[in-house]
């Protein structure tokens, strides 16, 4: 798994390093920019959710999976490494945004509520996990090229939903969760993690049957 | 323990069928899998590596079923495919760094030594390599983790004659260890004739012959004669006929031909060409 993650890192750094810089920039911009913080956080976390799909696209183009089939890695390893990459990326982007919000609230008291930020990140994280949970099995079954149409359709649906939610930040995020489902907002990422895990299991089953 | 046992291997595609392919690679030997383009050589190799699902048959690699914890078995298999499929943005150093974390027995010193021997630039992106350089990197990776079995799919294609000769010598050195074996597929018969102990000839998805190279060369002879002379031979002795410059040319099985018939030595390439013709007639 370490070798596979390192390979993905090398690919990302070579092909997408400017995008990685953008993610870092967007998670730190709230320090200097009022109002745009939540939208930028959405972009950062969602982008980290999309990055493993980008890597899968590069893998497909170089037919890496044909060589990977000969390596001492299981098909489950090949699948789970992408789930892990997505998870680490999303957590990293979310933590970076949280950190910048905490710094901002310390430097300018009252400008942002840490509790609101955490609540918002819980929903955002849950949404990003759900996005990958739906997309990954399609891509592992059909490949990136064939799964692209489904990917854009789902991306458009999720983008619209997250964009609308990001306009209602703060207390509304907490209230929305509680009002709609009566469930604490922290339960959303836990539920999404469970779905993410189920998605990983499904992707492993689907990928095991593919000819590489 | 045999390095490789393939029994009744089958795979169906629309328009192509691999039928009941069976062969054994004894430990310490080199088996050449020969066939024309589209014969099914790469399909056989991908089935051995469990990269594609088989429709029937069994495969045992280094004594173990290739569906039983094959991840562990692959630690001892070095693979070179028909093309090198490394991510195009990676360079040699990065490929080494990745494979070091994948193979338990990865040998950095051996990898570096081979990279130097092949004069591969360490910091150039893989996508900027020539085909020959890509194959050399693939071969270096296959030889750098103490593999017991090398599986080579057209590993010498695209290499210049000097590089091919160097690579063939490397493969010879690999099998000096009696526990090391090689399965190599190619349509360049001259490479296989130099290297192999066993020859398996695959034609349109069927294995027409699998035998020790020396026995194959002893078993058949080349006859140039007129049609009347050929007609006197038993049909069972004749395996393929073609029109020659002064009559006909035929591949004849020595044991089934009269001792009075003078047969010339025949090379592997002629044997497979004639066998393919015979198979096409049947």
Q: Which of A2, A7, A212 sits opposite B87 (nearest CB)?
A: A7
Q: Which of A62, A69, A211 sits opposite B88 (nearest CB)?
A: A62
Segment B134-156, tens digit of pLDDT: 999 999 999 999 999 999 998 88
Does B107 contact A at CB distance below 8 Å?
no
- pLDDT tops 80 at residue A169: no
Which positions ≥6 away from B16 have C-beta within 8 Å?
B38, B40, B43, B205
CA dihedral A117, A120, A121, A124 (to 10 degrees): -160
Task: Sort out which chain B residues have CB atoms less than 8 A from A61's CB and list them.
Answer: 88
A155: Cα within 13 Å, side-chain hemisphere: 15
Mean predicted confidence (pLDDT) in B231-241: 86
Q: Which two tokens stand for residue B135?
A: 């194959």
**Could you give the percent of chain B with pLDDT greater than 90?**
59
- Number of A–B residue contacts, CB under 8 Å: 84
How much is the pTM? 0.85
**CB contact residues (below 8 A), chain A span 37-76, against chain B:** 58-59, 61-67, 69-74
pLDDT the model gives residue A178: 57
pLDDT the model gives residue A37: 65
Q: Which of A70, A79, A62 shows the shortest CA–CA distance to A14?
A: A62
* B87:A6 CB<8 A: no
Task: Sort out which chain B residues have CB atoms less than 8 A from A64's CB and list them.
Answer: 85-87
Q: Which residues pair with B34 in a beta bridge?
A: B186, B201
Q: Which of B85, B90, B102 sits opposite A3 (nearest CB)?
A: B102
Q: Which of B81, B85, B90 sits opposite A10 (nearest CB)?
A: B90
* A11:B87 CB<8 A: yes
Mean predicted confidence (pLDDT) in A1-5: 94
pLDDT the model gives residue A180: 60
pLDDT the model gives residue A162: 67
- pLDDT tops 90 at residue A181: no
Q: Which of B51, B98, B125 sits opposite A6 (nearest CB)?
A: B98
Report yes or no: B102 and A3 within 8 Å, Cβ to Cβ: yes
DSSP state of B228: H
Does B87 contact A at CB distance below 8 Å?
yes
Does B93 contact A at CB distance below 8 Å?
no
pLDDT the model gives residue A168: 63
Least confident segment among A8-22, A163-177, A198-212, B255-269: A163-177
Task: Sort out which chain A residues have CB atoms less than 8 A from B90's CB and list them.
Answer: 7, 10-11, 14
Q: Which of A41, A165, A33 shows the shortest CA–CA distance to A93?
A: A41
B106: Cα within 13 Å, side-chain hemisphere: 17
Report yes or no: B134 and A62 within 8 Å, Cβ to Cβ: no
Q: How far is A3 from chain B (nearest CA, A)?
A: 5
pLDDT the model gives residue B46: 95
Task: Look at the alpha carbons of A167, A172, A177, A180 in this order and tell me if their dihedral is positive or negative.
Answer: negative
Does A15 contact B at CB distance below 8 Å?
yes
pLDDT the model gives residue A103: 82
Which has the higher per-residue pLDDT, A174 or A29?
A29
- pLDDT tops 90 at residue A171: no
Task: Sort out which chain B residues have CB atoms less than 8 A from A205's CB and list them.
Answer: none
Select the residue from A12, A61, A72, A205 to test the B interface by mutation, using most B Cβ atoms within 10 A: A72
Segment A49-91, tens digit of pLDDT: 889 999 999 999 999 999 999 999 999 999 999 999 999 999 9
């Amino acid at each position: 798994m370490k070798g596979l993650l390192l390979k993905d890192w090398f690919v990302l750094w070579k092909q997408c390093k400017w995008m990685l810089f953008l993610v870092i920039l967007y998670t730190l911009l709230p320090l200097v920019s009022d109002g745009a913080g939540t939208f930028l956080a959405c972009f950062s976390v969602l982008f980290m959710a999309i990055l493993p799909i980008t890597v899968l696209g590069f893998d497909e183009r170089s037919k890496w999976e044909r060589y990977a089939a000969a390596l001492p890695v299981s098909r489950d390893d090949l699948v789970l490494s992408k789930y892990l990459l997505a998870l680490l990326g999303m957590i990293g982007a979310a933590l970076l945004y949280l950190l910048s919000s905490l710094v901002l609230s310390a430097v300018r008291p009252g400008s942002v509520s840490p509790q609101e930020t955490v609540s918002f990140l819980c929903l955002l994280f849950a949404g990003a996990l759900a996005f990958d949970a739906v997309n990954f099995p399609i891509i592992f079954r059909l490949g990136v090229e064939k799964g692209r149409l489904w990917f854009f359709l789902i991306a458009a649906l999720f983008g619209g939903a997250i964009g609308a939610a990001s306009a209602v930040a703060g207390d509304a995020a907490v209230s929305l969760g509680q009002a709609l489902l009566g469930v604490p907002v922290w339960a959303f990422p836990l539920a999404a993690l469970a779905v993410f895990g189920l998605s990983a299991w499904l992707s492993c089953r689907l990928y095991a049957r593919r000819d590489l | 323990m045999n390095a490789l046992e393939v029994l009744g291997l089958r795979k169906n595609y629309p328009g192509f069928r691999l039928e009941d392919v069976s062969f054994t690679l004894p430990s310490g030997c080199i088996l050449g899998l020969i066939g024309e383009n589209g014969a099914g050589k790469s399909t056989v190799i991908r089935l051995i590596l469990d990269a594609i699902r088989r429709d029937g048959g069994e495969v045992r690699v280094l004594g173990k079923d290739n569906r039983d914890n094959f991840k562990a078995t692959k630690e001892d298999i070095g693979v070179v495919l028909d093309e090198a499929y490394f991510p195009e943005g990676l360079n040699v150093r990065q490929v080494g760094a990745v494979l070091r974390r994948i193979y338990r027995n990865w040998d950095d010193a051996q990898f570096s030594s081979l990279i130097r021997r092949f004069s591969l630039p360490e910091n150039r992106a893989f996508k900027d390599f020539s085909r020959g350089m890509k194959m050399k990197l693939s071969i270096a990776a296959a030889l750098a983790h103490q593999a017991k079995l090398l599986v080579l799919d057209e590993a010498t294609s695209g290499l210049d004659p000097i590089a091919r000769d160097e690579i063939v010598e490397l493969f010879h050195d690999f099998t000096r260890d009696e526990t090391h074996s090689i399965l190599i597929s190619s349509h360049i018969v001259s490479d296989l004739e130099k290297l192999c102990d066993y020859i398996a000839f695959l034609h349109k998805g069927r294995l027409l012959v699998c035998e020790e190279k020396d026995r194959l060369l002893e078993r058949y002879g080349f006859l140039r004669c007129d049609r009347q002379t050929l007609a006197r031979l038993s049909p069972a002795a004749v395996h393929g006929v073609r029109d020659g410059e002064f009559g006909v040319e035929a591949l004849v099985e020595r044991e089934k031909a009269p001792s009075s018939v003078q047969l010339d030595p025949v090379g592997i390439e002629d044997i497979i060409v004639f066998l393919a013709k015979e198979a096409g007639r049947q």
